[in-house]
Structures are given as structure tokens and as C-alpha cells.
Amino acid sequence: MSRPTTDAGSTRSHSPPHESSLYHVFVAFGFAGAEVGVILGRPVVAAVGLSLFGWSVAELLGEVSLADASYAGRRLAVVAGLYAVVAGSLLWVVQPTGDTLGVRGLAFAVAALALFARAGYDTLRTTAAVVSPRQ
């Protein structure tokens, strides 16, 4: 049969063939929500959509072994950091010019905070597990 591959996300990843998580569904839903919220100026929808998208992407990276699956907190923190940069650009650079795009920065900021919070929780939980491993 076909030769082995090391491509991320292939059937030869650590997940069993044909069986996966629901993250790919939430990547799609999150992206759609984020797009609608940002373009149409609905910060609530945008914030939730961005959070869902960022979270799902971070988890998928771990699931397909593109990132260390043991450190969910770090992956989330990286995504949150990227959101924070975008939020900062929109809120402090664009908004003072009076452009309505700046308002969208709020959604990125909220999403970044949510992901940072979750990353912190995951990190604490991982640390606790290392300190007192279950038998």
C-alpha cells in the first residue's frame, strides 16, 4: 500500500484512523462567527467566535502532534498573544483615527483575555498533575 507519511494530520498521527475530536467542527463554526462579528460589527459574536476558533486551532495543533500535546496552556497562550497584538493594533493605532474598524479590536481583546485565562488554568492543572501524579 502507500508509503508511510509524516504529514501532520494524516491517518498515521497518534489518533486512531477515521476517529477524531470535534475541534475541526468548532474551527469552522468559530471562524464563521468571528468573520460575521468582525465584519458586521457585532463584538459579542466576534469575541465568542474568535475564542472558539483560537481554542480549537490550539487543541488541533496538539491533536495532530504539530505542538506538544502535554502543554495545552502554552498553545493557547500563543494564540491569545496573537489576538492581543491584533487587538492592540486596532485599539491603539486604528481607533484614534476615528475608523470604525477600531471598535472590532474589542472583540480581539476579549477573546485574548478569555484564552489567556484558559491557558493559565490549563498550566496550573498541568503543574499540579506533575507535582502530584496520579497512581
The residue ranges that bind another protein (CB under 8 A) are: 1-3, 5, 7-12, 15-33, 35-37, 39-42, 44-45, 48-49, 51-52, 55-56, 59-60, 63-64, 99-101, 118
Shortest approach of another protein to residue 71 CB, angstroms? Answer: 13
- Of residues 66 and 85, the one with the C-beta less far from another protein: 66
- Of residues 12 and 92, the one with the C-beta less far from another protein: 12
* CA atoms of 97 and 62, how far apart (whole Å): 39
Amino acid at 42: R
* CA atoms of 46 and 30, how far apart (whole Å): 9
Tell me which residue of 135, 134, 86 sits closest to 108, measured CA to CA: 86
> Could you tell me what percentage of the chain is helix, strand and coil, using 3-state DSSP and rounding each to the nearest 5?
70, 0, 30
Handedness of CA 34, 107, 101, 37 (dihedral sign): positive
Shortest approach of another protein to residue 132 CB, angstroms? Answer: 14
Shortest approach of another protein to residue 28 CB, angstroms? Answer: 4
Q: Are 33 and 48 in contact (CB under 8 A)?
A: yes
Shortest approach of another protein to residue 87 CB, angstroms? Answer: 18
